[in-house]
Amino acid sequence: ELKVEQNPLFLSMQEGKNYTIYCNYSTTSDRLYWYRQDPGKSLESLFVLLSNGAVKQEGRLMASLDTKARLSTLHITAAVHDLSATYFCAVLQGAQKLVFGQGTRLTINP
């Protein structure tokens, strides 16, 4: 059974700092997805990582995938308040289903 674990689950940081969210998963998969959720809102797709070594960047966020280590990272550079949200990773199980991590609640303070 595929298990997906994120850490940390809660992260409070100051504007301007850098930090990384980690997503570990337990069985082989070569598809990983990152989503953002604002309080009371739906999930917004951020990145789709389709192969080992994939790296994608959008603004201050950069995601990478290491399928051999079963690890993805979401790196935040020079954080700004607007990035405060909950971030989820999700891993494709077989060809059919996504299994989600618990989410990382990120709070960025001025």
Residues that bind other proteins (CB under 8 A): 4, 9, 31, 33, 35, 41-45, 48, 50, 88, 90, 92, 95-103
**Shortest CB 74 distance to other proteins, Å:** 15
Q: How far is the CB of 22 from other proteins (least distance, A)?
A: 15
CA angle 53, 103, 66 (to 5 degrees): 10
* Nearest to other proteins of 76, 101 (CB atom): 101
> CB of residue 37 vs other proteins: minimum separation in angstroms?
9
Q: Name every residue whose Cβ is closer than 8 Å to that of residue 69 and which is 6 or more positions away in sequence.
A: none
Q: How far apart are CA 47 and CA 93, in angstroms?
A: 17
